[in-house]
Amino acid sequence: MDGNPAEFEAIGNRIGFGIVEDSTETLRLLWQGPRFPAFLCLGIALVLLFVSIPIAQAIYLNGLASRAASLWYFPLMNLVLIGIAFYLLAQQRRIVIDNAAHIVTLTKRKFHKTVSLTLCYDDIENVKLGLDQVYSGFAVAGSSAAQSFPVPSLRLCLKGGASVLVDRGGARRLKELGEKIAPRLGLSLENDSAPH
């Protein structure tokens, strides 16, 4: 094993890997990041661009003493939204199961870094479909602590007790994904309904 399994935990209740390649030699899974929030930020930034450009030009031409200077936050807000959109679009997770080399490679890419975990088939004890306790939100001042709820998850359980999160989502979709992964590793899919 090369890498840290804890790096592949996720806060959210859904990840949603898609199958990119499913051949006898290789199974490639890909998650492209939170697309809807990214495109929403990008769309709002593009709409604000029509307001931000004239304001930026007025500030440039007339200085900070002009009336337009009181709207300085529009160009700044536009830059922040574009930055958030590019950060979200840059997120990506990949899982490659290579039957020829008997290796499972998990890769998590963010805007500023890439983290990788490489597992030999011998490192994996079983493939488990279970439940993770996921928190519904943060506690707000004066409220009780955030509540948690069970979410179906698919995990690779490693020898030594550690586990690696593969995906979370609907039980039927995870079961289908687990039934593709487990036979390639020479294992059976275990269904464990106890919370993780």
Do 100 and 123 share a structural domain? yes
Of 88, 110, 125, the last residue of a domain is 88
* pLDDT tens figures, 12-58: 656 778 889 888 889 998 988 888 889 999 999 999 888 889 888 88
Domain housing 136: 5-33+91-195
Q: What is the pLDDT of residue 149?
A: 77
* Kind plus residue range of the DSSP H or E element containing 9: none
Do 166 and 140 share a structural domain? yes
Helices (H) and strands (E) in the chain, counts: 3, 9
Do 41 and 10 share a structural domain? no
* pLDDT tens figures, 78-104: 999 999 999 988 888 899 999 989 999
> What is the distance between the alpha carbons of residues 153 and 83, in angstroms, rounded to a whole number?
31
